[in-house]
Structure 1
């Protein structure tokens, strides 16, 4: 009986180790996304995604509450929609909207000297989406 318990304990440790490694990667991606958000989005959308950042006072429209996307979509975070909107692949309701097309302007606050493109930006955008998904209430 003891060899079975030892094997079970070993398997449990291995599985828990694998889970913690995955969650560490997830945490790293969310933190990286939080850094992108803080530099590119928080001025308009607020520090916590609530839609009332300091630059919003200078806009003709109120930036949406990004932390409530999941609640407004029946408990589903619309990741693909948000991704396509951020990179300008969806038509905006208001063509004069102050929301930048990040595929055109890049992450100019994250990379003020330029130099980031392709895979780096794709990773940054994916991390940003991970962060936005993590802050949903």
Structure 2
């Protein structure tokens, strides 16, 4: 019985930590997120996330400064808002906005052989959000 109870506490702690939304991103997650960002986002939002990518000049509207999200939100990185916005779960102020709905187009540059039709792996998307959080100024 003593052995059994000594296993329950660590298992319970592990399960509780798995239920939390905020996890500490490892260096591989941030690095993978940076690679995804470079392929999917940097053309419009720029290499540093400041909204000045080479494709931004043809959009008719300046892409937002992604590196300043935390600054503009009282020191809080709005992870869930960013997740929902990128995946098209929030109504846009401008329906004609050039920002793609990644739940529809998928990560087509990350998965060039099958990246349409909303193909977004949850781990890749979490890594992208970890990277965006890591670049906050």
TM range (shorter): 0.7 to 0.9
Partner of 2:127: 127
* Aligned-residue offset at 1:87: 0.3
1:28-68 superposed Cα distances (whole Å, 9 cap, x missing partner): 00000000000000000000101000000110110000000
Partner of 2:104: 104
Structure 1: unaligned runs, 5 residues or longer: 1-21
* CA pair 117-131 structure 1, distance change in 2 beyond 3 A: farther
2-side partners of 1:118 and 1:100: how far apart? 11
2-side partners of 1:130 and 1:123: how far apart? 10
> What's the secondary structure of 1:67's corresponding residue?
helix
The reply to whether residue 58 of structure 1 matches residue 58 of structure 2 is yes
1-side partners of 2:33 and 2:86: how far apart? 14
Partner of 2:41: 41
* CA pair 60-115 structure 1, distance change in 2 beyond 3 A: closer
1:52-93 superposed Cα distances (whole Å, 9 cap, x missing partner): 000001101100000000000000000000000000000011
The runs of at least 4 consecutive aligned structure 1 residues that moved more than 2 Å come to: 115-120
2-side partners of 1:120 and 1:56: how far apart? 23
* Aligned-residue offset at 1:121: 1.2
Partner of 1:16: none
Larger radius of gyration: 1
* CA pair 89-74 structure 1, distance change in 2 beyond 3 A: same
1-side partners of 2:63 and 2:77: how far apart? 18
Q: Which has the higher helix share?
A: 1
Count residues with an aligned counterpart. Answer: 115
Alignment map for 1:1-137 (pairs within 5 Å): 26-114=26-114, 121-137=121-137
2-side partners of 1:111 and 1:119: how far apart? 8
* Aligned-residue offset at 1:117: 8.6
Structure 2: unaligned runs, 5 residues or longer: 1-22
